[in-house]
Amino acid sequence: MLDNKCAFNQIYKFGEKHIIDGISIQEIRRGLSLGMAEYLHARSKSYDCISAIPNTGYFYAQQLAEAMDCRFARIFEKKLFKRTLGTTATKRVSTYDSLLMTLDAVDKAAHTLFVDEALLSGLTVQIIANACQEIGLKRYSFAFMSPITLCHCPWGHIKHTDRWFEGLNGKPTQTEVENLRRKLIDVTQAQEIIHCPPEVFFEVIDSTANCSLCFYDGIPAPVGCRNAAPE
């Protein structure tokens, strides 16, 4: 399985200057942000401030804030840029213990939307929620620039990570999804947990040309992906 054809790598791992089939990763991610902005506008969603789960959420958050004509702020950042996906929960918590407040002023009564590329185990979201509570931020929500991640990657691009929505066998009912979403809201005390809907996501990322098995069991994948997963 080629890295270039991994939808998750396109939204998370690759640098913004990376080119796939003549299209830059930056263009792909900007397209996702604009699509999400239209989705939120259509549902009359509004926020006082848009921020990011550091560090991979910053580009999305800035683009989303601009599209929604909303204030962007770097509320949290890590001392060192270090990816935590695929590490143990203990190591991820340890890494995020280095979160810092930035110089951006924080309105503790403002409704702040934190943006990231995907929700996997929910651990990072809980860490950010705890940090919000520590600084007295009273209203915050989370938005993810991809659909719900249900399935484990057969190609090993996403390793050693449990799924918050695991156990739904790739064919969840709306009730099951909303029950787990509500549970995460209860755990984090967030106002909302929002995923990029599949129809928006796959307008930007072509599921006939890219593997997207981690998002939904029924999404088509390139020839060879579904029937020949590596040992």
**What average pLDDT does the segment 32-42 reach?**
97
Cα distances (Å, whole numbers) of residue 53 to 29, 124, 217? 16, 8, 27
Which fold is adopted by the domain 3-204?
Rossmann fold (3.40.50)
Q: Given the structure tokens 């890494």, which residue do they identify?
A: 95
Q: Count CB atoms within 10 A of the CB of residue 136.
A: 9
User: Which has the higher per-residue pLDDT, 5 or 88?
Assistant: 5
**pLDDT tens digits, residue range 107-157?**
889 999 999 999 998 988 998 999 999 889 999 999 999 999 888 887 888
CA–CA dist 133, 135 (Å, integer): 5
User: Does the structure show a pLDDT above 60 at 191?
Assistant: yes
What's the CA gap between 98 and 79, in Å, rounded? 6
How far is residue 219's CA from residue 208's CA, in Å, rounded to a whole number? 9
Tell me the pairing of strands 49-52 and 193-195. Answer: unpaired
pLDDT average, residue stretch 225-230 = 40
